[in-house]
Amino acid sequence: MTAALARKIRIGILGASGYTGAEAVRLLARHPNAEIVIMTADSHAGEPYEQVYPHLGGLDLPGLVKVEEVEWAGVEVDVVFCGLPHGTTQEIIAGLLHDTQHSVIDEVMHEGPGDAAAAIQGQPRVIDLSADFRLDSTDTYAEWYGHEHYAPHLQPEAVYGLTEFSRDKLPGARLVACPGCYPTVAILPLAPLLSAGKIAPEDIIIDAKSGVTGAGRSAKTANLFSEVSEGLHAYGIASHRHGPEIEQELSKAYGDNLIVNFTPHLAPMNRGILATSYVRLAGETSVDDLRDCLVERYADEPFVRVVGNGVAPATRHVRGSNHCLIGVFADRLPGRAIVVSVIDNLVKGSSGQAVQNMNIMYGLPETTGLEQEALFP
Amino acid sequence: MTAALARKIRIGILGASGYTGAEAVRLLARHPNAEIVIMTADSHAGEPYEQVYPHLGGLDLPGLVKVEEVEWAGVEVDVVFCGLPHGTTQEIIAGLLHDTQHSVIDEVMHEGPGDAAAAIQGQPRVIDLSADFRLDSTDTYAEWYGHEHYAPHLQPEAVYGLTEFSRDKLPGARLVACPGCYPTVAILPLAPLLSAGKIAPEDIIIDAKSGVTGAGRSAKTANLFSEVSEGLHAYGIASHRHGPEIEQELSKAYGDNLIVNFTPHLAPMNRGILATSYVRLAGETSVDDLRDCLVERYADEPFVRVVGNGVAPATRHVRGSNHCLIGVFADRLPGRAIVVSVIDNLVKGSSGQAVQNMNIMYGLPETTGLEQEALFP
Amino acid sequence: MTAALARKIRIGILGASGYTGAEAVRLLARHPNAEIVIMTADSHAGEPYEQVYPHLGGLDLPGLVKVEEVEWAGVEVDVVFCGLPHGTTQEIIAGLLHDTQHSVIDEVMHEGPGDAAAAIQGQPRVIDLSADFRLDSTDTYAEWYGHEHYAPHLQPEAVYGLTEFSRDKLPGARLVACPGCYPTVAILPLAPLLSAGKIAPEDIIIDAKSGVTGAGRSAKTANLFSEVSEGLHAYGIASHRHGPEIEQELSKAYGDNLIVNFTPHLAPMNRGILATSYVRLAGETSVDDLRDCLVERYADEPFVRVVGNGVAPATRHVRGSNHCLIGVFADRLPGRAIVVSVIDNLVKGSSGQAVQNMNIMYGLPETTGLEQEALFP
Amino acid sequence: MTAALARKIRIGILGASGYTGAEAVRLLARHPNAEIVIMTADSHAGEPYEQVYPHLGGLDLPGLVKVEEVEWAGVEVDVVFCGLPHGTTQEIIAGLLHDTQHSVIDEVMHEGPGDAAAAIQGQPRVIDLSADFRLDSTDTYAEWYGHEHYAPHLQPEAVYGLTEFSRDKLPGARLVACPGCYPTVAILPLAPLLSAGKIAPEDIIIDAKSGVTGAGRSAKTANLFSEVSEGLHAYGIASHRHGPEIEQELSKAYGDNLIVNFTPHLAPMNRGILATSYVRLAGETSVDDLRDCLVERYADEPFVRVVGNGVAPATRHVRGSNHCLIGVFADRLPGRAIVVSVIDNLVKGSSGQAVQNMNIMYGLPETTGLEQEALFP
């Protein structure tokens, strides 16, 4: 299908100085169908990218400019990866997607992905890495993010980009809201079990452990090496913003509103999230049924793998890769099971999934540019 | 009360080349009422201790001998700290406590701690750091440790040495089984809540995260730096030996047999365990009731502290200290709460608690030799 | 000698929210002759100290106030530990030591430490942890720190507080400038060798590796966990401010001006500095002579230890302790030797040495409050 | 040139359970011209590779067999990557390369790389990752490795595979000895300077800091997480086996025998080596001359980059990539300079360089399969 593209996809990366931005650069710089043409950064504008991220030195990249100084008219950007802070994002994307028309044909594509396609002249498609368009309800957004939604008119068309569950909506999307890292690692194992009625919706407990890159690159005392290394703690207990996002998607899977316990912890590592989910089996369901349900659901997925019986997935098994590994275990408590899932928060939990979405938006093989194995040790 | 001792307590440390042994040395070498007179090690016998543990160089310590070569008759040891592998421990302690008499007067003490005291000539008291005498039922031991109990006649007199719950039994004990690190961090917050009927016994979920020293110093590939750093994983899911130990003590607190979920994880840090316990409130109990119950229970305890509302305890807050910190949080799931507890697995979870027990066995102030603050960063 | 003190030494800690401040609190809170009566912090003023440093929760400490709000007249502080940023320090200390009189009798002491003693009513003695009074030459200070010295009149009386080399000046000092962490680890092994003429002064190369706490607790991107973990780099190459400080003291030891190579590196660990010093043997000197010279020099020192032949000191051997370990090795290059030294940068490299200095200033046993063994692992 | 290959290169990996073996698998599994057909392991023979290295699960790989059970006649292996322990390697390679003929045509290639080519029927070419064929002198080998060389007849034909210096010999080679990780990071910056007469050969000091994967995956107490994390130490001081290897190659570059100081340190990180080399400028050479010399030498190299003036390379800039970064700095000591170089020890320091060599041996573009950017954080 690659041959179907008329030319390389021209890409803008907003917020290229953050970790998710840099990860997008890392992945897209070697993507055979992509070409990075714009990179923005706020305080680093004007610096060569090598100075901001020396590990990406030696690439042929555009210079960093402030986002407000981009001359969109001139650059012909096809897709914008948006890695900006929440709130800000809504305003900037509202500026980019100023037309009211919602459907898309991209001139990159010789043949569109089907009926969903129609043209928007001069406007890029947007793959958003922030939390700004993830929540269907702008009221819920306002409640959890502390301010009203600044682009409520765009929210209805935003596609929640958990790739494995949104494939049919991506080809025609002009605004994709990539899931949070915690929601990705939690929804992938639990949604199929709820859809299939295999687990009870009442007391799902998701104990998650994340590496420090999840907190971004801004200078905060709490994320200093000496504050974080050689120790572990819970944070945002019963109040983390990814909670309502998880509930939204699991509610869809279940078919009715549900509430979950979501308790994040910060672990002294750079990358990786591990979620240990404690679930109650529904009706006569066995633990083997749970495993079978997930194995079947993900049998044809290139990036989700149910590991062997008795194998405990570790974050280091997916470091730097776009994979999600899932393990299923019986509990000592009768009628309960334990589901362990892992991702790299910067890849499948963010920029890798964004590239996966882009591949589908453009009819490319889903794994293009994402074939790297995990880096271990 | 210190003045009541006729002389320093003469101490033997069996298994001084392990991490718990070294931690006992660290604490006892500066204990004003203790004197280390014997140290054993297996493969390191004959080496100066400084070579095994350079951080303890410069202390005036006895040389390392093999445990089978100790001439017990000659050395007049008052207390043995036993940090040997399981199974081995039972046989060696059976050899030490060969007399059938169970009560104790220690000649170190001018005045015994009461009626419980009676003399055992020439036999040391034993503070065991292994798992060999923790389980009341020798059948349960055999089931979980894979071999019959080698000293079943001694099991009935073993005092389970979770200090805060065994103070009245320690003065007369000649065999103290110090709790495992995971049981310590789990029982301290949960036992009072079960005793007081504040939480339901049915589906207690204990998600625990431990540093690597919990695995000891033996050379295993799984504990190499490169296997453990920069990642996190669950292990021993529904099958860890500390599970039945936790259940035994929580059952006592509750007053009836109960089963819990106990899921340990290995985190890339040296010291520390954090347990996140998910509990269901009993009857009309509120989260504030839970907090009040724990605050009251531990008000006079020198080493257990309930932290302020909204504060999340971190393992690094207790690194190197004998403290346990406990935080209580409301859950988003109605009728549930989250209890977070932390200890240093080598101190309160092992050798520090052992010294705390010794202090009580000898009528010393409980905090003697344990006053160090945590080391942070 | 402890009994000679009329009462506890009343202590003020300026900059208690920094790592060196917290380490001073950790050490002094358990010091039998010390009592912390004032603690200042800037942005954290008004918060309970437990909120700033939960690992020190449970201590009975004064509240945090801004340094400019301390009412010095009322509090009767004997000694101020000053852990403020450079520049600021000079102004604040100039305010404290407003009297021109330079000698000291401290009313804490029944009997002064000798003729040096005379009274300064109402003024505390100052133990400074910053770099502000370390350089004898205020011109050199201005050159390396980028601004003129703000208290040049006080510089002449400042005692450079590398304890092992300043014992005779400390009892009468009212202003002690504690050495930097790098200078401490470099000067201890090299000064005796230069004094004794055992090594050539021309091309001393000091390759130093430090943990991250050396950079303090201020929020800088460069010190975030994800920027520092899993990697290593050199910084301040040929331009680090500790270079001239090392040269100043080594020049004194040698008897003439010398220049050294000092190259610091940042390693992914919290505490500890290791210096690998490459030296040329002078004249007929052998490597054994070097070792003998250091063994002899430090034979009676409680905190400096030359380790056995062939033993390589590691930073983890001194973690949390006030020790400096030194190893001496032959080089493959003929006529050269390698000297390896380690300290904990926050203890011997900062607050521990400050307490050691205080002990001497007050005629206390030098090791008081500093007896802890290193914490390993 | 890729099109010139008649088919994929059939690859055997001996010692696939070690870190270098796993890294070879990681790189070759995605190499467009390679096909892994044999993988050996000793204790893990019979296990699926996913069990040994879960991060490489999901690849289509051959099963693990013992090296002595490979039926070489049947499998038609073109190239063997040999990651076995030293000593063992010599015997096994001697078995593989039993024919006395030294030149090569590989049937994979339509057209050979020139006159050097001639056929060896049924024998693979060998790319050795061990130290067994790196030293030209079998006497030196015996002196440093503690036993006689077991395949001295093969030593003369072994090509020292520091790619940037051996390109002309690789196409015709049947035995390539890949350099050690330390030698790679030390020789790349220093050899051109010695060849060009820019630095003095007398007192080159190489202070190197390595991550823990350099020690391999065998279970040793010294490499346990708790022994290595949160600390740093020197080891093998003046006695590390990579010393003579560095000297051999630098002597060739200089044109006469020289001795260097090489002092390795172990840092708490998985991957990466940083070498800080202290050199004396020759004659009238300036530091700029040094930089210019290196810039010119490596201008066309895809994997070696001299970074900008004032930039200090960090190991994390090359994590997971095949790059070597070099920085040049003036020293405060007159007439001296400091050269900092970094590599990933498992990639450019081992398996990546091996693949780079293979690419040249087969006339492929040198960067094939090695295009990944570094993974940061």
pLDDT tens for each residue of chain D, 377 residues long: 444 788 999 999 999 999 999 999 999 999 999 999 999 999 999 999 999 999 999 899 999 999 999 988 787 899 999 999 888 999 999 999 986 554 455 567 654 444 333 335 568 999 999 999 999 999 999 999 999 999 999 999 999 999 999 999 999 999 999 999 999 999 999 999 999 999 999 999 999 999 999 999 999 999 999 999 999 999 999 999 999 999 999 999 999 999 999 999 999 999 999 999 999 999 999 999 999 999 999 999 999 999 999 999 999 999 999 999 999 999 999 999 999 999 999 999 999 999 999 999 999 999 999 999 999 99
Question: Of the listed C178, C181, C293, C324, which one is catalytic?
Answer: C181
Q: Which chain D residues contact residue B225 at CB under 8 A?
A: 212, 223-225, 227-229, 268, 270
CA A291 – CA A308 distance, rounded (Å): 10
- Beta partners for A262? A206
In a domain, residue B120? The reply is: yes
In a shared domain, residues D34 and D139 = yes
Which are the catalytic amino acids of A?
A: 181
Q: Greater confidence, A71 or D358? A: D358
3-state secondary structure of D181: helix
User: Within 13 Å, how many C-alpha atoms sit on residue C177's CB side?
Assistant: 23
Contact D226 B218 (CB under 8 A): no
Coil, helix or strand at residue D50: helix
**Residue (of B191, B217, B220, B223) closest to B204 by Cα position:** B191
Residue of C nearest to B48 (CA): C308
pLDDT for the residue B113: 47
Q: Do C317 and B57 touch (CB under 8 A)?
A: yes
- To the nearest whole angstrom, how far is the Cα of D296 from the nearest Cα of chain C? 24
Residues of B forming the active site? 181
- B334 shares a domain with B298: yes
A229 interaction partners in chain C (CB closer than 8 Å) = 212, 225, 229, 268-270
Which chains, if any, share at least 3 CB pairs under 8 A with chain A? B, C, D
Residue where one domain finishes, among candidates D118, D144, D178 = D178
- Sole residue written with tokens 């056995």: C308
Return the partners of chain D (3 or more C-beta pairs < 8 Å).
A, B, C
Question: How far is Cα C260 from Cα C199, in angstroms, rounded to an integer?
Answer: 13
Same-domain check for residues B53 and B151: yes
Going by pLDDT thresholds of 50, 70 and 90, the confidence category of residue A122 is: low
Helix (H) or strand (E) holding A309: none
Nearest CB to C270; choose among A217, A221, A229: A229
Are D55 and A321 inside 8 Å of each other by CB? yes
How many pairs of residues across C and D have Cβ atoms under 8 Å apart? 157
Give the end of a domain, one of C147, C178, C209. C178
Where a domain ends, among A156, A178, A200? A178
Is C14 part of a structural domain of the chain? yes
How crowded is the C-beta side of B275, counted as CA atoms within 13 Å?
29
B313 and B215 within one domain:
yes
Q: Could you tell me which residues of chain D have a Cβ less than 8 Å from any Cβ in chain A? A: 19, 22, 26, 29-30, 50, 53-59, 212-213, 229-230, 270-271, 305, 307-308, 311, 313-314, 316-321, 323, 325, 371-377
Q: Are C305 and C209 in a shared domain?
A: yes
Instruction: Give me Rg for the CA atoms of chain D.
Output: 20
Within 8 A by CB and 6+ apart from D1, the residues are D363, D364, D365
Q: Domains in chain C: how many in total?
A: 2
DSSP letter, residue C146:
S
Positions of D annotated as catalytic residues are: 181
Query: How long is chain A?
Result: 377
- Each residue's pLDDT tens digit, C336-365: 999 999 999 999 999 999 999 999 999 999
From chain C, the residues in CB contact with D331 under 8 A are 238, 261
Reported pTM: 0.95
User: In chain B, whose CA is at the least distance from the CA of D270?
Assistant: B226
pLDDT at C187 over 80: yes
Per residue in C106-139, pLDDT (tens digit) is 567 654 444 333 335 568 999 999 999 999 999 9
The pLDDT assigned to D71 comes to 86
Does C371 map to a domain? no
For chain B, how many residues are written?
377
Report whether pLDDT(B117) > 70. no
> What is the rounded average pLDDT for all residues in chain A?
93
- Regarding an ipTM greater than 0.90, the answer is yes
Residue at D368 is within a domain: no
Of C213, C221, C226, which is closest to A226 when you measure between CB atoms? C213
The residue segments making up the domain with residue D159 are 2-178
Shortest CA gap C23–chain D (Å):
18
The C-alpha atoms of residue B141 and residue B147 are separated, in whole angstroms, by: 8
Q: Where are the alpha helices (DSSP H) in chain C?
A: 19-29, 49-52, 72-75, 88-96, 138-145, 163-166, 181-195, 225-228, 242-254, 287-297, 352-361
Closest CA to C258 of C335, C211, C202, C338: C202
Residue A86, in any domain of the structure: yes
Sheet holding A261-266, edge to edge: A233-234, A261-266, A205-210, A273-280, A336-343, A324-330, A304-306
Contact partners of B by the rule of 3+ C-beta pairs under 8 A? Answer: A, C, D
- Residue B332 near residue A144 (C-beta atoms within 8 A): no
A323 CB-contact burial (10 Å; exposed 0-12 / middle 13-18 / buried 19+): buried
Mutate to test the interface with D, among C202, C205, C290, C342 (most CBs of D within 10 A): C205
Residues in chain D: 377
With a cut of 60, say whether residue B111 has pLDDT above it: no
Instruction: Name the pLDDT band for A58 (thresholds 50, 70, 90).
Output: confident
pLDDT given for residue B106 in this prediction: 58
Which of D55, D212, D311 minimises the CB distance to A376?
D55
Is B356 within a domain?
no
On chain D, the residues whose CB falls within 8 A of the CB of A320 are 320, 375
Q: What is the DSSP string of D97-115?
A: T-SS------TTBSS-SST
Does residue C287 share a domain with residue C157?
A: no
CATH, residue B155: 3.40.50.720
How many angstroms away from the CA of C244 is the closest CA of chain D?
A: 10
Nearest to A330 among B226, B238, B278 (CB): B238
Domain of residue B268, CATH code? 3.30.360.10
Task: Find the CB nearest A331 among B238, B329, B331.
Answer: B238
Write out pLDDT tens, residues B331-376: 999 999 999 999 999 999 999 999 999 999 999 999 999 999 999 9
Q: Nearest-CA distance from B228 to chain D in Å? A: 7
Q: How far is D261 from chain B (nearest CA, A)?
A: 26
Q: How far is D283 from chain B (nearest CA, A)?
A: 45
Q: Residue A126 falls within a domain, yes or no? A: yes
Instruction: For residues B173 and B25, state if they share a domain.
Output: yes
- Are B40 and B160 part of one and the same domain? yes
User: C15 with C41: CB under 8 angstroms?
Assistant: yes
Residues D23, D69, single domain; the answer is yes
Q: Cβ–Cβ contacts within 10 Å for residue A309, how many? A: 11
> In terms of domains, do B217 and B232 share one?
yes
Determine, for residues D221 and B219 on separate chains, whether the beta-carbon distance falls below 8 Å: yes
Q: Are residues D200 and D174 in the same domain?
A: no
Residue D72 lies in a domain: yes
DSSP state string for B256-312? S----EEEEEE-SSSS-EEEEEEEEBPTT--HHHHHHHHHHHTTT-SSEEEPPTT--
Same structural domain, A76 and A145: yes
Cα separation values, B20 from B17, B44, B81, B237, B283, Å: 8, 16, 10, 24, 42
Kindly indicate the confidence band of residue A32, based on its pLDDT and cuts at 50, 70 and 90: very high
d(CA C203, CA C238): 14
Helix (H) or strand (E) run with residue C376 in it = none
| CB of C83 closer than 8 Å to CB of C20 | yes
